[in-house]
């Protein structure tokens, strides 16, 4: 297996004569790389300040018992997320060079429009990778196929309805993954992600755990991102830890709420926030029943959270830059300090 190298070359150039490998594990600055033959080796970066993600293509210089990473090749896509919210917000990048992202949501009592919209807003990047919604545990939901079709029509994205227990929808999911693609399944702990991946791969790739009957939630089976080549289907899987919460950054709201963005073009003010300004076409649509009140509230909530998160992250960056400037000034002062004559 070429680990998706041919797919990578469709996006980025790789020089002839270099030895390349792919980051298969990144955990606390400990790295492993996978070679084109599927073998895995511990790796050490030549430049210790360079950060690597699982999925990165790198140029290596093989040593006796490890590989020296001499260069990280450009990324054509990056999967990241905001963890926490407001003053606890942190930006985390998880996977690179991704072709398809499957957002997994269980068809249990936690299924809701607001959860779906939050995940789409947090992760959907149409210009970098394809995003699909996977409804897991469809055996728990009557008329699951009908709901999937309805959501696909409303959201404008592919929606796959699956059950690892009955095998429903697994063949469709397998058919949606092209040979050589790098894919990842993302979702809360307990949505059945590990069982789903095992069913798609037709082998025991990941360990599984039972979810709590009381909370209907699971524990983290995966603790760090890993890269796995899947021979049946000839694709590359990046497994990521289950997530407890999803914060939202500053992605384009038009991807999730295109109808509101279109309505907003009719507002009197170009910077209308749709929260009380005169001549607001969005609020008018809510009042006359053209726009669903629940959808409007979801939009306002995500917009407010996004703005609060971005304000905090901007302040965090500014504080970091000020600290660096202060440290540099102090270093310069010490360098030019002259001891007074005795």
CATH (domain of 165): 3.40.50.300
| Known binding residues for GTP | 136-139, 187-195
Q: 74, 70, 65, 62: which is closest to 35 by C-alpha?
A: 62
State whether 46 and 139 are in the same domain: no
Tens digits of per-residue pLDDT, 275-297? 888 999 998 998 999 988 888 88
Q: pLDDT at position 182, please?
A: 96
Phi, psi angle pair for 288, to nearest 5°: -95, 5
State whether 31 and 145 are in the same domain: no
State whether 53 and 87 are in the same domain: no
Task: Sort strands 90-96 and 226-230 into parallel, antiparallel or unpaired.
Answer: unpaired
* 324 vs 80, more confident: 80
Tens digits of per-residue pLDDT, 199-208? 999 888 877 6
pLDDT value at 332 more than 70: no
Identify the H or E element spanning 280: none
* pLDDT above 90 as % of the chain: 38
pLDDT value at 144 more than 50: yes
pLDDT value at 215 more than 50: no
State whether 221 and 255 are in the same domain: no
Q: What is the 3-state secondary structure (H, E, C) of 1-45?
A: CCCCHHHHHCCCCCCCCCCEEEEEEEECCEEEEECCCCCEEEEEE
pLDDT value at 335 more than 80: no
Q: Which residues lie closer than 8 Å to 35 by C-beta, 6 or more apart?
A: 21, 41
Tens digits of per-residue pLDDT, 150-204? 888 887 889 999 998 899 999 999 999 999 999 999 888 778 888 899 999 988 8
Q: 136, 91, 141: which is closest to 116 by C-alpha?
A: 136
State whether 136 and 225 are in the same domain: yes
Q: pLDDT at position 39, please?
A: 93
Q: Which residue matches tokens 């926030």?
A: 273
CATH (domain of 27): 2.40.50.140
Q: pLDDT at position 212, please?
A: 44
Domain that holds residue 45: 5-72
Q: pLDDT at position 252, please?
A: 57
State whether 176 and 308 are in the same domain: no
Sign of CA dihedral 155, 99, 66, 206: positive
Has residue 340 been placed in a domain? no
pLDDT value at 88 more than 80: no
pLDDT value at 69 more than 50: yes
Number of domains, the chain:
3
CATH (domain of 320): 1.10.40.50
State whether 68 and 194 are in the same domain: no
| Known binding residues | 136-139, 187-195, 267, 272, 274, 280
State whether 264 and 133 are in the same domain: no
| Known binding residues for Zn(2+) | 267, 272, 274, 280
Which of 213, 239, 265 is the last residue before a domain boundary?
239
Q: Average per-residue pLDDT in the chain?
A: 81
State whether 147 and 293 are in the same domain: no
Average pLDDT over residues 18-35: 92
State whether 171 and 266 are in the same domain: no
Has residue 194 been placed in a domain? yes
Has residue 149 been placed in a domain? yes
State whether 83 and 64 are in the same domain: no
Q: Distance between CA atoms of 133 and 105, rounded to whole angstroms?
A: 8
Has residue 341 been placed in a domain? no
* 332 vs 47, more confident: 47
Q: pLDDT at position 52, please?
A: 94
Q: Distance between CA atoms of 196 and 170, rounded to whole angstroms?
A: 8
């Amino acid at each position: 297996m070429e680990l998706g190298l041919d797919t990578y070359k469709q996006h980025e150039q790789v020089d002839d004569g270099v030895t390349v490998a792919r980051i298969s594990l990144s955990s606390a600055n400990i790295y492993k790389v996978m070679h084109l033959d599927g073998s895995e080796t511990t790796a050490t970066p030549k430049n210790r300040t360079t950060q690597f993600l699982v999925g990165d293509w790198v140029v290596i210089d093989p040593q006796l018992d490890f590989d020296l990473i001499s260069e990280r090749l450009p990324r054509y896509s990056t999967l990241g997320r905001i963890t926490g919210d407001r003053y606890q917000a942190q930006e985390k990048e998880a996977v690179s060079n991704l072709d398809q992202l499957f957002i997994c949501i269980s068809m249990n009592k936690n299924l809701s429009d607001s959860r779906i919209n939050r995940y789409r807003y947090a992760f959907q990047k149409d210009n970098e990778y394809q995003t699909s919604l996977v409804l897991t545990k469809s055996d728990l939901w009557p008329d699951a196929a009908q709901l999937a079709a309805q959501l696909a029509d409303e959201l404008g994205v592919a929606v796959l309805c699956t059950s690892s227990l009955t095998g429903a929808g697994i063949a469709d999911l397998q058919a949606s993954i092209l040979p050589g693609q790098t894919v990842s399944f993302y979702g809360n702990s307990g949505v059945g992600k590990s069982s789903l991946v095992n069913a798609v791969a037709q082998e025991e790739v990941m360990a599984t755990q039972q979810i709590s009957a009381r909370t209907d939630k699971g524990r983290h089976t995966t603790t760090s991102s890993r890269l796995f080549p899947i021979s049946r289907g000839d694709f590359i899987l990046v497994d990521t830890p289950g997530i407890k919460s999803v914060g939202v950054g500053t992605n384009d709201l038009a991807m999730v709420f295109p109808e509101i963005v279109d309505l907003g073009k009719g507002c009197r003010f170009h910077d209308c926030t749709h929260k009380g300004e005169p001549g607001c076409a969005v609020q008018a649509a809510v009042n006359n029943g053209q726009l669903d009140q629940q959808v409007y509230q979801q939009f306002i909530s995500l917009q407010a959270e996004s703005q609060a998160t971005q304000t905090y992250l901007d302040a965090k960056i500014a504080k970091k830059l000020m600290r660096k400037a202060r440290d540099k000034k102090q270093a310069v002062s010490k360098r030019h300090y002259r001891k007074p004559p005795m």
